[in-house]
Each structure stands twice: as structure tokens, then as C-alpha cells.
Amino acid sequence: MLRRIWARRTLAEAFSSRENSFGFLRLLFAFLVLLSHTFPLGYARDDPGAGITNGQAELGEIGIIGFFVISGFLITRSGLRFGLGRFLWHRALRILPGFWVCLVVTAFVLAPLVALLERGNLSGFWSHHEGPAQYVAKNLFLAMQQYGISDLLLDTPYAHRTGDSVFDGSLWSLMYEVGCYFMVGGLALVGVLRRAKFVVLIMAAAGFAVMIYDLIQAPKVPGPQGIHGPVLGFNGLDRYSLIYLTYLFLLGALFELYKNRIVMNDAGALVAVVVLLGTVQFGGVAVLGYPAFAYLILWLAIRLPRWLRGIGRKQDYSYGFYIYAFPVQQLLALLGVPDWGMLAYIALSTAGTFVLAVPSWHLVERPAMGFKDWTPRRSRRRPEQRPAADPAGPPRELAKDGA
């Protein structure tokens, strides 16, 4: 027992791209976001996570943190294996088709249903200056410029609290995710990931320094302070989110780049738990709690029971669950489901989200990924002209690390 607790296996030795629990963890983090949204969407109340962490993080933020750490780890693996064009093609196939279909389903299926429920007809729905067509067109390239549709959903608990018409408030984070993809692609292109990985360490250290500065300025609020607002003219981007989400992504990237030096064992996980709980109680979650949580995520991916490792390996519903949960919860709130009790609201929200997430995977996301090996006609080679496989290339087991 003690030998296992103090075992000095590195992350490279302990982690298997085929046998890990990332699929389960991603689904868990997506559910945390749904749970977080239950309170403002159903009851116009604050997420209780802020109270638990002394105002430092809500449940939904914990889910987002988990997503970005895992993404940083896996996407960096992908950046090390593929050229820039192939890398970006894979990333576009994984994000955009599901996102685009979600926009269309929200605008042309869910929004008309909401209009009928609220008004009894579709009068003015299609011609509104922020109608369904505008919703799709303005948000097509991930930077969310329009959250409402035709002034609907203004009679929901969330709108009573904020005054805003919002159909899918979860989509805001996707632009930051894609921005991190371009960052990894650029770092790979100039050789940083292979020959100068210390640059990534310096970038993460800069983010860490910002977190320390902000801890001094505002001890109970994590993340960069005083720099909210549009980035490069994009109203859909916010400097606060850009800095702290990129920092979290870089933490995940560092675990991949330094996997041969990072020791993963139960003792390290225990220390990480103590540090995380300490920061939750006394402050400094963004400074020490984020790195500790990142370590725990990688440790859980390795150490969770074997039966959890099959979740998400062949059917990854986590992305669809994340992008569809918010509109489902809004629709149920409009129907008065929260009045049936919080457990009923959570259960029906979860079930309703899976009703959309499952076909999203089987009909959109997985078929799109089937084109990942597509090559433009002019760049194709005849079979006899293809170079022989590099015997020193990546092992076959890396083929399913999320790339």
C-alpha cells in the first residue's frame, strides 16, 4: 500500500491514451455546469458554489476549469503529432459542425416553440431585427454577438433577474477554447512545443504572476481584475476570461510537455487535495488551487476505477451536453418545471439535454470526425508515392487521445 502511495511513476509512464477517465470527467464537468445554471435559470438565485468557496468559484466555473485543463493536455498532444493544417482541420471538425447545428436547432426549432408558448403565434418572430436568422449569422464564427432571439424568454426567472433574453449562455467559452487551439498550432509551427517547451512554462508563469498580483489586489476574487471588456474589437470576448482560461489551458499543456518529469502518485494527489481545500477556505484558489486541481484531474484520469474508463471512449456526449443544456433548462423554466422541485428540474434538464446531445454525437459530431483524414485533391499522392511510415513515430495507442 505504502509503495503504491509513494510510487515515483511519471505521468508519461502512468497515463494511457486508451485507458483513462477523461470521457467520464468531461461529462461530469458538463453536468456541473448544468447544476450551476439550475439556480439562476430556474430560481433566479446564485450558484451555491460561490458560498462554498468563499466567493472564489461557482460550480459552473469548476466545470469550465476542468474542461480547459483537459483540453490543454490533449490538444497539446495533438499539436505535437500533426502539421498545422491537419491539426486545425481536426479541431475545426470537432467544434464547428456541432456548434453550427446547435445554433440552427436553437434558432429554428426551440425558439419558434418558445414563441408559440409565450405568445401563441409567430407574429413578428421571423422579421424581428434580432430574429433567428440574425442569431445564426452573428454567432456563426463562435464569438457570441447575440444571445437573445426576437425578445423571447423575457418571462423566465433568469430574465427577471438580469433583464436579458438569453437562449444559450454556455456558448461564450468556445471562442476562448478555439483561441487556445490557434495558440498551440502557432507554438507547434515555430517549434516551441518540441524544441523550446520552456517558452510555454514562461507563458504559464506570466499567468501565474498575474494571479498573484490579483490576489494581492482582491484576495477573495480569482482571476484578472479591472480589465473586463472587448478584446481586439470583439464584443464576444472579455479580457478577464481570456487571461484566466488561457492560463488554465497552459497548465494542462505543461502536464503534457513535462510528462516525463511530473510524478503522479497518491501522495501527490493527497497534497493537491489539502492545497485545494486550504485555498477554498483561506483564499488563493486561482494561485495555488488551480494548479492543485489540474494535478487532481490528471490523477483522477489515471486512478479512477476501470469501469469508468469506457465512458466517452466511443460515444462522447460531453460536448453536446454542454452546448444544449442551457436552452433545455430555459425551456423547462418557461414551462414552470422548477415549481415541481429542484430535483425534478435537474433530472428533467439532464434527460432533456441528453435527448439533444445523443443525436448531436451520432448524427453530427462523429460523422464530421469521419473527414479528419480528408486531403485536398491536389495534395494527394498515389499509393506508391507515399513515404514509408517512420518507425520512430508515435505509437498506435496515441491515435485516440482526442485529436
Give me the DSSP letters along 14-47.
H--SSS--HHHHHHHHHHHHHHHHHHHHHHS---
In angstroms, the CA 227 to CA 170 distance is 21
C-alpha cell at 246: 488561457
Q: Which pLDDT belongs to residue 275? A: 95
Quick one: pLDDT at residue 261? 94
Q: Given this model, what pLDDT does residue 220 score?
A: 60
Give the residue from 255, 275, 303, 277 showing the smallest Cα distance to 4: 303
| Closest by Cα among 171, 173, 211, 222 to 57 | 222
For residue 221, the model assigns a pLDDT of 62
Provide block-wise average pLDDT over 10 residues at a time, the chain (403 residues): 65 90 96 95 87 80 94 96 94 97 98 95 94 96 92 93 91 94 96 94 95 80 61 71 93 96 93 94 89 96 92 92 97 96 97 98 96 75 46 36 41
> Nearest to residue 323, comparing CAs of 66, 60, 30?
30
Q: What's the CA gap between 289 and 272, in Å, rounded?
A: 8
C-alpha dist (Å) from residue 226 to 1, 15, 33, 237, 240: 49, 39, 25, 15, 8
pLDDT reported for residue 289: 93
What separation, in Å, do the N-terminal and C-terminal C-alpha atoms of the chain show?
Answer: 36
Residues 6+ apart with CB under 8 A from 132: 107, 108, 111, 112, 125, 126, 149, 150
Q: What is the model's pTM?
A: 0.90
Q: Which amino acid is at 89?
A: W
At residue 234, the pLDDT reads 65
pLDDT at 5: 61
